[in-house]
Amino acid sequence: MRNRISIPLAVGLAASLAGFSQQALASGYTQTRYPIVLAHGMLGFDSILGIDYWYGIPSALRRDGARVYITEVSQLDTSEARGEQLLRQVEEIAAISGKGKVNLIGHSHGGPTARYVAAVRPDLIASVTSVGAPHKGSKTADFLRQIPEGSGGEAVLAGIVNGLGGLINFLSGSSSTSPQNSLGSLESLNSAGAERFNAKFPQGIPTSACGEGAYQVRGVRYYSWGGTKPLTNILDVSDVLLGASSVPFGFEANDGLVGRCSSHLGMVIRDNYRMNHLDEVNQTFGLTSLFETSPVSVYRQHANRLKNAGL
Q: What residues are labeled active site?
A: 108, 255, 277
Phi, psi of 51, deg, nearest 5: -105, 120
Task: Output DSSP code: residue 104.
Answer: E
154: number of Cβ within 10 Å? 17
Q: Which residues contact 72 (CB under 8 A, 6 or more apart)?
A: 40, 44, 45, 46, 172, 174, 175, 176
* Dist. CA 221–CA 217, nearest whole Å: 7
* Dist. CA 223–CA 131, nearest whole Å: 9
The helix-helix angle for 110-120 and 79-97 (nearest 10°) equals 60
Type of residue found at 148 = P
The helix-helix angle for 191-200 and 182-189 (nearest 10°) equals 80
Task: Output DSSP code: residue 108.
Answer: T
Nearest to 165 by CA among 190, 191, 139, 186: 186
* Dist. CA 110–CA 98, nearest whole Å: 24
* CB-count exposure of residue 23 (10 Å: 0-12, 13-18, 19+): exposed
284 preceded by a cis bond (ω within 30 of 0): yes
